[in-house]
């Protein structure tokens, strides 16, 4: 069965899927095969797919998004590897419930960031100050910071879109200090005969030794070198999301703030604070990298601008 899994991996890489998607899809496909006692997918049809999806919903009680991801993985496998279209399934993609994002006020942000230290504090400040997603912040390279124009360049954000966003003045010096840390790490790598940064698949053949340039190094470099998962060369990647999440969780607990705070909460808070400060919604849309302004409009609901000037009837009641 490992040969089949490798054929799925090859198809994913041919289609230029991200490494994270590759890992997720392969995990779901392995789970599907194990659920059916290691039968080959060519011998499994709609009924078996429906049984697996029912198992996820009923026994494992996964979320709608997780169930959709599993279905996407199976559809990809059958379409591109088994070469069979999946039609007539009793299951369709589950609609995710629309939830209002959790946001923090200025004092809450200040308190949480105050309990964070070092590079993790700087990452949190970038999430809030520039409206970055966590993976966008971790993938920043030295060349992406423009101190002259006070901008941060986001390369291939969600949906593969490039964009510029704000570089807060307060972060200029901390980022310069972090760049010096990355330069020192890079210098040691070069002295050890390495120095290549991690690049998207196949770009190493385009850039070659240019990938050793300081400008290409990650702002938040990993503490260890690794083998590139696609191209096999030894490189240095950025720090992992889990390291930041652990530090953030510790800070939230220490702050005593009773909200569910994730890395993305800082991005939500960035958007709401801009709108509260009078920034027009189109500008906020561009800074966040949203394709549709309707996605950005959810923040107007969060801050209650739709109800501006509307008094509750209870406030007029004498009791």
CATH, residue 60: 1.10.150.130
169 shares a domain with 71: no
- Is residue 307 very low, low, confident or very high in pLDDT (cuts 50, 70, 90)? low
User: Does 314 map to a domain?
Assistant: no
Whole-number pLDDT of residue 268: 95
The verdict on 40 and 112 lying in the same domain is no
Looking up tokens 């889990």 gives 242
Q: Which of 15, 50, 82 is the last residue of a domain?
A: 82
* Residue from 141, 236, 237, 267 carrying the catalytic annotation: 267
Q: Supply the Cα-derived Rg of the chain in whole angstroms.
A: 23
Spatial distance between the Cα atoms of 266 and 272, rounded to a whole number of angstroms: 10
Q: Binning pLDDT at 50, 70 and 90, where does residue 303 land?
A: confident
The verdict on whether 299 is a catalytic residue reads: yes
**Is 205 considered catalytic here?**
no
Reported as a single tens digit per residue, the pLDDT across 5-26 is 999 999 999 998 888 899 999 9
Q: Quick check: is 57 in a domain?
A: yes
- The pLDDT of 154-172, averaged and rounded, is 92
Q: What is the pLDDT of residue 215?
A: 96
Catalytic pick from 139, 186, 237, 290? 290
141 is catalytic: no
Quick one: average pLDDT of 73-93? 92
Give me the pLDDT at residue 312, please.
62
Mean pLDDT of all residues in 259-275: 95
Which one is predicted more confidently, 197 or 309? 197
pLDDT at res. 313:
67
Q: Does residue 307 fall inside a structural domain? A: no
In which residue are the tokens 């409206």 written? 131
| Phi, psi for residue 236 in degrees, rounded to 5 | -120, 125
Cβ contact 191:211 at 8 Å: no
Stronger pLDDT, 176 or 95, i.e. the higher one: 176
**In the prediction, which pLDDT does 280 show?**
93
How far apart are the C-alpha atoms of 72 and 133, rounded to whole Å? 23
For residues 317 and 58, which has the higher predicted lDDT (pLDDT)? 58
Which residues span the domain enclosing 118?
106-298
DSSP state of 297: T
Asked whether residue 311 carries a pLDDT value surpassing 70, the answer given is no
Among candidate residues 133, 141, 186, 236, the one labeled active-site is 133
> Model confidence at 318, in pLDDT bands (50, 70, 90)?
low
Check whether residue 143 and residue 14 sit in a common domain: no
Q: Are residues 169 and 77 in the same domain?
A: no
Give the pLDDT confidence of 222-237 residue by residue, as tens digits.
Answer: 999 999 988 899 999 9
DSSP assignments along 96-122, one per residue: PPP-PPP---HHHHHHHHHT--HHHHH
Q: Has residue 48 got a pLDDT over 90?
A: yes
Is a pLDDT exceeding 70 seen at residue 314?
no
CB atoms within 10 A of CB 173: 9
Are residues 203 and 65 both part of a single domain? no
How many structural domains comprise the chain?
Answer: 2
| Residue 96 clears pLDDT 80, i.e. is over it | no
Q: Indicate whether 126 and 247 sit together in one domain.
A: yes
Mean pLDDT to the nearest integer, 300-319 = 65
Return the SS3 of 174.
helix
Q: Which of 39, 55, 225, 264 is catalytic?
A: 264
Task: Clarify whether residues 257 and 142 are in a common domain.
Answer: yes
CATH of the domain at 173: 1.10.443.10
In a shared domain, residues 110 and 50: no
The answer as to whether 223 is a domain residue is yes
**Is pLDDT above 60 for 306?**
no
Q: To the nearest whole percent, how much of the chain has pLDDT over 90?
A: 76
Q: From the candidates 158, 225, 230, 245, which is the catalytic residue?
A: 158
- Residue 301 bears catalytic tag: no
Smallest CA-to-CA distance from 302 within 282, 274, 283, 261 is with 274
* pLDDT in the model for residue 258: 95
pLDDT of residue 18: 84
pLDDT on residue 43:
95
The pLDDT confidence band at residue 203, using thresholds 50, 70 and 90, is confident
Tell me what the mean pLDDT of segment 286-291 comes to.
94
For residue 25, the SS3 value is: helix
Same domain flag for 71 and 197: no
């Amino acid at each position: 069965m490992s040969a089949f899994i490798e054929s799925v991996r090859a198809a994913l890489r041919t289609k230029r899927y991200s490494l994270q998607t590759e890992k997720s899809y392969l995990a779901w496909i392995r789970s599907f095969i194990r659920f059916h006692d290691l039968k080959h997918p060519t011998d499994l049809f709609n009924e078996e797919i429906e049984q697996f999806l029912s198992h996820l919903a009923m026994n494992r009680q996964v979320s709608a998004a997780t169930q959709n991801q599993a279905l996407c993985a199976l559809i990809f496998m059958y379409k591109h590897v088994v070469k069979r279209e999946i039609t007539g399934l009793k299951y369709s993609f589950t609609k995710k419930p629309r939830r209002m994002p959790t946001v923090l006020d200025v004092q809450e942000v200040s308190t949480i960031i105050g309990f964070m230290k070092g590079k993790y504090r700087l990452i949190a400040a970038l999430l809030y100050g520039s409206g970055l997603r966590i993976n966008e912040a971790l993938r920043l390279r030295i060349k992406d910071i423009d101190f002259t124009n006070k901008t941060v360049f986001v390369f291939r954000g969600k949906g593969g879109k490039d964009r510029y966003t704000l570089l807060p003045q307060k972060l200029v010096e901390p980022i310069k200090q972090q760049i010096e840390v990355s330069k020192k790490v890079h210098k040691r790598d070069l002295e050890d005969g390495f120095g290549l940064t991690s690049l998207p698949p196949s770009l190493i053949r385009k850039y070659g030794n240019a990938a050793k340039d300081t400008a290409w190094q990650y702002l938040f470099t990993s503490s260890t070198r690794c083998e590139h998962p696609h191209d096999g060369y030894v490189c240095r990647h950025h720090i992992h999301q889990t390291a930041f999440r652990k530090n953030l969780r510790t800070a939230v607990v220490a702050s005593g703030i009773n909200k569910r705070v994730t890395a993305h909460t800082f991005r939500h808070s960035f958007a709401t604070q801009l709108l509260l400060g009078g920034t027009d919604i189109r500008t906020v849309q561009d800074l966040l990298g949203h394709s549709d302004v309707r996605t950005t409009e959810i923040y107007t609901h969060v801050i209650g601008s739709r109800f501006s000037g509307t008094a509750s009837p209870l406030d007029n009641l004498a009791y």
